[in-house]
Chain A
Amino acid sequence: MSSQAASSRPAGARRGSFLDRERTVAPPGYSRWLIPPAALAVHLSIGQVYAFSVFKLPLQEHFGTEGTPIAVIFSIAIVMLGLAAAFGGTWVERNGPRKTMVASALFFCGGLFIASAGVALDQLWLVYLGYGVVGGIGLGLGYISPVSTLIKWFPDRPGLATGLAIMGFGGGALIASPLTNRLLNSYADAPENAIAPTMITLASAYLVLMLLGAWVVRVPAKDWRPAGWTPPQQATGMRAAADTTARNAIRTPQFWLLWVVLFTNVTAGIGILEQAAPMVQAFFSQIDAAAAAGFVGVLSLCNMAGRFVWSSTSDVIGRKPIYVVYLGVGLVAYLGVVLLGTSSVAVFVILTGIILSFYGGGFATIPAYLKDMFGGLQVGAIHGRLLTAWSAAGVAGPLIVNTLVDAGGGAEAGASAYRLPLSVMVGVLAVGFVANALVKPVDPRFQEPVASGSAASTAAGQDRREGVGKR
């Protein structure tokens, strides 16, 4: 591409950096199916954060501390993810996916390198700074960048596109968990002595994978459209024909209703995820630790599969109806766990598996929902701002469940200790259900003017409004 670009460049025009958006524009005929692996490379890498628990016990042993100071590392990373996505979203949209993916790789892998130094030097604060703060910024940038890029490549199937990318985030833990265990057991006689080399190995592998993804990623040309697809010339149902900027989007009630939708869906899912192993043992006394770990594995698979399957389904049945399913059927499933959960292991696993598939589906479908409501112009920046709901739910979900379980006598009290928290989650989902029902098309006064003849030419709109390209 570089030679083509050079030959067609006007004399005196600045070529720009390899990382710039204009250097990532795909030439005519470039297959859009070459883009998803670039997105997956980033999401599979940063999805490692969901496997952080594998490091938990070795870190406790290494630093000779309780669980809470170690759990703080993960919490910092998730909070930084939300903040970086919220405050970096506009920068991500302006600079394009390649620069953002490189920045994400440097932050995320650099964070792992710093954390490994913290372990080697016995400095826990360096682990907070590295894995939590620096790595967390990499998580936020890496999470939103490939999503908005894929939406631009798949305007006809945004649910499939976002499902593909965000499935990678769920899948990242499935890879990192056994891999980390293997590395911890092979570098030293005890896992607590193998943390630093394990982190360095993971960081090196992720750096290569993420940079490969950054090299491969392309954005479509401004007038590119999938063969046989015509952008809608006027709004249909919930789909807007005009774009809304991120600045205006947060002034709409629709944004905050979707914030509540994501918050409630994630809170309910985390309620089960966070307590999965002790909960299944509380419901069924015959379940031992190995079988409980198996249950966590089942939930992880449901979480990952739901991201792709349900998000793709939303392209067919629509975004609002799929959230009616996530929140409405999810509510019934939660109620089923409360009333029928102790009847058999199979019923318990099926119901919780359904809830976790909706949890994953909710994450994966929300960018497509945002694209429908606000157009593709700044969907990455809007998505970033909405992810603050994830950070809030990450605090609220475990807090609600742990507090109420403890008040009910703890996991030792059996299934009865979980009845109240699970019932509260039914109410939480009901709130989300109502919020989704209230979502209406965005008022045109928040939308950008539509250029005649290109109602939904999002890439063209992006160039026009953000000054992308040299004039």
Chain B
Amino acid sequence: MSESQGAAKAAAVLLWVLVGGGLGYGVWQTVARASQLFG
């Protein structure tokens, strides 16, 4: 595996963390807002 190939794979893993974290943040914020409907 070349150096740039390894870097791309590391970037893909970083992206998984970023998009997963972003989605988690968005869902958490929306659930908090949605809970007002039943509050």
Could you tell me which A residues sit within 8 Å of B by CB distance? 1-4, 27, 34-35, 37-38, 40-41, 44, 168, 171-175, 177-178, 209, 212-213, 215-216, 218, 287, 290-298, 300-301, 304, 345, 349
Contact = CB atoms under 8 A, between A and B. Distances in A.
Contacts of B36: 290-291, 293-294, 297
B33 to A, nearest CB: 4
A40 B5 contact: no
Contacts of A168: 19, 23
The SS class assigned to the A binding surface is helix
A368 B39 CA distance: 40
26 contacts: A2-B2, A2-B4, A3-B3, A4-B5, A34-B8, A37-B12, A37-B16, A38-B15, A40-B23, A41-B19, A44-B23, A171-B22, A172-B26, A174-B23, A175-B23, A175-B25, A177-B26, A177-B30, A215-B11, A290-B36, A291-B36, A294-B34, A295-B34, A297-B33, A297-B34, A345-B37
A1 B19 contact: no
Contacts of B22: 44, 171, 175
Given A1-B4, A2-B4, A304-B27, 8 more contacts: A4-B2, A40-B19, A287-B37, A294-B35, A294-B37, A294-B38, A298-B37, A301-B30
**Across the A-B interface, the 6 shortest Cβ-Cβ residue pairs:** A174-B26, A294-B37, A294-B36, A37-B15, A297-B34, A34-B12
A289 to B, nearest CB: 10
B5 to A, nearest CB: 5
B8 A215 contact: yes
- How many residues of B sit at the interface, in one of the four size bands? 20 to 34
B33 A293 contact: yes
Contacts of B30: 174, 177-178, 297, 300-301
Name which of B12, B25, B31 has the most chain A CB atoms within 10 A of its CB. B12
B2 A178 contact: no
B10 to A, nearest CB: 10
Contacts of A174: 23, 26-27, 29-30
A44 B38 CA distance: 28
Contact of B18 (A171, A209, A295): A209
A51 to B, nearest CB: 10
A171 B19 CA distance: 10
Contacts of A349: 37
Contacts of B29: 174, 177-178
